[in-house]
Chain A
Amino acid sequence: MDLYKDRSASDKIVRKISYLSKDLDEVKLCHVCGTHEHVITHYGIRTLLPENVQVVSGPGCPVCVTTQGEIEAAVKIAEKGAILTTYGDMIRVPSKRSLSDAKALGLDIRIVYSINDSINLAISNPDKKIVHFAIGFETTCPTTAISVLDSPDNFFVLSAHRLIPPAMDLLLSSGKINLSGFIDPGHVSTIIGTKPYEPISEKFHVPQVICGFEPNDVLMGIYLLLKQIKEKRAEVENEYTRGVRTEGNTKAQSLMNEVFEPCDIRWRGFPIIPRSGLSLKNKFSNKDAYKEFNIEIEDIPEEKGCSCPEVLRAEKNPRECLLFGDTCIPQNPKGPCMVSREGACYISYKYEKSLR
């Protein structure tokens, strides 16, 4: 797999990109995946691109787009005596009441690496209710579906899952940013395949390329996008064929469809996006933490000062936020984008703080 990291291959693709870009106007490409942001920033890919080719980061961090209302729901459930589990970075996200503050006050909130660890906790604590605060895009949803179908009675799911294509549609419908193409997320696509992106290309005439996570995957994706733009095509291409089949992982899709149904949900920085969330189907209400604990998502206004909403909508880059690197640093984050290892602010602080 060295080809995907090979420097001389990168050089060749970069030369090809700059050759193509000469015939093009301003190009703004958007990715929607924290791991892509990491690869792009870590390898300095933006510095290799011609001046008229820009790559911006969109709502690709599940921790970042989870709302304060959902975090508050999780805290309330822990207050009702449940053991709450979730994935690492979620704990430190600032909120009306953050999970780490709630934990410091004595609530039983634990970090797990896998939902499977949470199920094991339920098995070893039969007299306790265990609730997994399930965040994540399509990559993660099938693992939650499995846990709903196969777990002890004292295990519940607080679903904060979200779907990526509706958010991409909204970014373009809002008309605020002028995007020329999408770098589609590799591991979301591993699950959903290429089809769900096609209506977006048709509706907005934008090209898309599904990309892997090595530097040359991303460069190749950018090259393929420029080529589509030049040829006035708007198709969904797959650069990451070693990890994404055209039809996706059909087993994972049918598990997701069995357990979840789409729901309308607000994202941090966004209004309610129709059919962009996943809630448990009625027949699994015995596993649904919202129902078991009788809790609804509150509407909590976003904090002033932090530019995460604009960063997540690809309208600002982190260094344009007045708090960046100053009052807001990873040790003392003011917003989720500085907490999460997939957040654009955290990644920029880690690799580019000298640029400011």
Chain B
Amino acid sequence: MCLAVPGKVVEIKEKIGVVDFSGIKREVRLDLVDVKIGDYVIVHTGFAIEKMDEKDALESLEIWKEILKIQEDY
């Protein structure tokens, strides 16, 4: 139920967007997010519930790099 999948916004018509899920395009409601074309969103039961922020992803990557680096040390 809480399954949600990321996709890329390729069209926006007011509250409805078209999201590309690796080739498969579907209409998605955008009421819960502020997005522009090209943004990645997490989609759950036909609604985008959050933007996947590139900056956030990079921050998370920093944690990863740090942990993987510590790993190399022993």
Chain A interface residues (CB < 8 Å from chain B): 1, 3, 9, 12-13, 15-16, 19, 33-35, 60-63, 87, 89, 113-117, 135-137, 139-140, 142-143, 146, 185-188, 190-191, 220, 223, 239-245, 249, 251-252, 255, 340, 342
Contacts and interface: CB of A to CB of B under 8 A. Distances in A.
Assign chain B's interface to a size class.
Answer: 20 to 34
Contact of B1 (A9, A61, A142): A61
Q: Describe B's contact surface by its main secondary structure.
A: mixed
B33 interface: yes
Contacts of B1: 34, 61-63, 87, 89, 135-137, 139-140, 340, 342
Given A33-B2, A136-B1, A140-B2, A117 B46 contact: yes
A243 B50 contact: yes
A172 B45 CA distance: 31
Closest 9 A-B residue pairs measured CB to CB?
A114-B46, A241-B60, A242-B57, A139-B2, A62-B1, A12-B71, A143-B47, A187-B2, A190-B50
Contacts of A241: 56-57, 59-60, 63
Given A12-B68, A116-B47, A139-B44, 8 more contacts: A34-B1, A137-B1, A140-B45, A143-B44, A146-B29, A187-B4, A190-B49, A342-B1
A188 B31 CA distance: 17
Contact of A16 (B32, B46, B49, B67): B67
Interface of B: 1-4, 29, 31-34, 42, 44-47, 49-50, 52-53, 56-57, 59-61, 63-64, 67-68, 70-71, 74
A61 B2 CA distance: 8
